[in-house]
């Protein structure tokens, strides 16, 4: 029989918008071999019990170390025995989703036969879903990869190969695998937390220490399905670690670099809000409130002007580093801040450089 590992993967709810879905893109399976099972190779056993997954893909997953028996990786010729407990982690693939290829410009930073790195603009949804069936990054990728209209993205293996994603209103670097082997090898790096991911963010308040770490489990907010929160009980959340470093201080806000050790949904947004420094203009986590400042009307007008310049959470996926799935070479990519965040920083620099003496904290 097969069952889901407890709390291992949350099946996506089509009614939840893209920005509220799980960022972790892995399915976790657990098989307990029946007592009457005849001896059989593990790749054949799994293909018989996973009808929607090809034997070739299962063999690739076994080769890359995704399949364990008694908590140890096995080879494809391992003979399954009654009572064996098979644990299997596979990068998630959407099934039966019809994709409309659309000629949408992509800011491609790097591309070869295995991988593609692109710079996603803020406001662009990654996957088609409830309320967003066109104009998404996947629609653009389908066109770029020469996918035919009406093809389901699981038919030829070219779509559904994103190994991670970022929120709709977060800008920055995103990694795409162009074949099964590349996806499995890259997804393993995400699963092992060996991918380098650094973000730039503008947060409310003055972070007193130059650097720090937030180590706090994250789970879905039971009162709002689109929000996540830090859980007091570690058993109710997923392990999440964010390292941050101050880049520039403006008194009322701070420009920081955040390095992800794990990759939970809304992780930086939740963690920074948890320590009292929500992202600037992050409506979902309190960033649209004037969290620090003065009672003077000029300051409030200044903040309103800032919100107009950057009307989304001030978060940018700036750096992405990974081992190439074929060559084994370490690749690292860096992107410039988008115009809205750059303008926002310049406005704060000018404001702080000309701050009147009578402006004091509340």
- Of 99-108, 288-297, 335-344, the range with the lowest mean pLDDT is 288-297
Whether residue 202 has pLDDT greater than 70: yes
Is 167 a residue of the active site? yes
Lowest pLDDT segment from 75-84, 95-104, 246-255, 338-347: 95-104
pLDDT digits (tens, 9 = 90+) for 120-161: 999 999 887 666 678 999 899 989 988 877 554 544 444 557
Q: CA-CA distance, 273 to 252, in Å (whole number)?
A: 15
Domain ranges of the chain: 26-91, 108-190, 196-353
Residue scoring higher pLDDT (234 or 354): 234
230 touches 270 (CB < 8 A): yes
**Mean pLDDT to the nearest integer, 304-321:** 97
pLDDT number for residue 57: 84
232-245: per-residue pLDDT in tens? 888 889 899 999 99
Determine the average pLDDT of the residues in 297-325: 95
Q: What is the pLDDT of residue 159?
A: 52
- Whether the pLDDT of residue 172 is over 90: the answer is yes
Question: Can you give the pLDDT at residue 160?
Answer: 53
Q: What is the mean pLDDT of the chain?
A: 85
Pick the residue with more confidence: 212 or 153? 212
> Could you tell me the CA-to-CA distances from 339 to 69, 153, 167 in Å, in that order?
50, 33, 18
Contact 302, 272 (CB under 8 A): no
C-beta separation of 144 from 97 below 8 A: no
Neighbours of 218 (CB within 10 A): 24
Distance CA 8, CA 24 (A): 10
Active-site residue identified among 43, 84, 114, 167: 167
| Assigned token pair, 286 | 């309190």
Instruction: Say if residue 196 is exposed, middle or buried (CB neighbours under 10 Å; 0-12, 13-18, 19+).
Output: middle
Same CATH topology for 26-91 and 108-190: the answer is: no
Using the predicted structure, report yes or no on whether residue 361 has a pLDDT greater than 60.
no
42 C-beta neighbours (distance < 10 Å), count: 24
Identify the pLDDT of residue 295. Answer: 67
The dihedral through the CA atoms of 229, 204, 321, 172 has a sign that is positive
Burial class of residue 153 (count of CB atoms within 10 Å of its CB; 0-12, 13-18, 19+)? buried
Quote the tokens at residue 299.
């300051």
Inter-helix orientation angle 55-63/42-49, to 10°: 130
Question: What percent of the chain has a predicted confidence (pLDDT) above 90?
Answer: 58
Cα separation of 142 and 147, whole Å? 5
Whole-structure pTM value: 0.81
Alpha-carbon distance of 280 to 310, in angstroms, equals 9
Buried-exposed string 51-74: b where 16+ CB fall within 10 A, e elsewhere: eebeeebbbbbbbbebbebeeeeb
Is residue 13's pLDDT more than 60? no
- What are 104-131's pLDDT values in tens digits? 999 999 999 999 999 999 999 988 766 6
**Is domain 196-353 classified as CATH 3.30.2350.10?**
yes
Coil vs helix vs strand at 115: strand
Out of 73-82, 270-279, 345-354, which region has the weakest mean confidence (pLDDT)?
345-354
The fold of 26-91 is 3.10.290
Q: What's the CATH class of domain 108-190?
A: alpha beta
């Amino acid at each position: 029989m097969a069952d889901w590992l407890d709390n291992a993967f949350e099946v996506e709810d089509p009614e939840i918008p893209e920005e509220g879905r799980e960022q972790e893109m892995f399915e976790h399976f657990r098989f307990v071999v029946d007592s009457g099972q005849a001896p059989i190779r593990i790749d054949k056993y799994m293909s018989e019990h996973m009808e929607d997954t090809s034997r070739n893909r299962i063999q690739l997953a076994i080769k890359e170390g995704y399949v364990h028996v008694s908590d140890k990786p096995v080879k494809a010729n391992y003979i399954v025995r009654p009572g064996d407990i098979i644990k299997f982690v596979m990068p998630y693939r959407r099934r039966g989703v019809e994709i409309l290829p659309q000629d949408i410009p992509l800011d491609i930073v790097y591309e070869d036969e295995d991988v593609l790195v692109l710079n996603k603009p803020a406001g662009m949804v990654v996957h088609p879903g409830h309320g967003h069936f066109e104009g998404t990054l996947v629609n653009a990728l389908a066109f770029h990869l020469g996918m035919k209209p009406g093809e389901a993205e699981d038919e030829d293996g070219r779509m559904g190969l994103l190994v991670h994603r970022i929120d709709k209103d977060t800008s920055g670097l995103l990694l795409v695998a162009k074949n099964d082997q590349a996806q499995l090898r890259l997804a393993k790096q995400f699963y092992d937390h060996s991918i380098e991911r650094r973000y730039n963010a503008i947060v409310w308040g003055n972070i007193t220490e130059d650097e720090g770490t937030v180590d706090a489990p994250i789970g879905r907010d039971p009162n709002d399905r689109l929000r996540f929160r830090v859980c007091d009980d570690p058993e109710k959340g997923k392990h999440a670690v964010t390292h941050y470093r101050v880049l520039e201080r403006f008194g009322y806000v701070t420009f920081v670099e955040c390095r992800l050790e794990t990759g939970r949904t809304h992780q930086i947004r939740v963690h920074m809000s948890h320590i009292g420094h929500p992202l600037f203009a992050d409506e979902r986590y309190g960033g649209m409130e004037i969290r620090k400042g003065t009672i003077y009307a000029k300051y409030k007008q200044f903040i309103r002007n800032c919100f107009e310049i950057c009307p989304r959470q001030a978060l940018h996926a700036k750096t992405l580093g990974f081992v190439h799935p074929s060559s084994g070479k370490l690749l690292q990519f860096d992107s410039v801040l988008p115009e809205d965040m750059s303008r926002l920083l310049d406005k704060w620099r000018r404001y702080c450089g000309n701050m009147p003496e009578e402006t004091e904290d509340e």
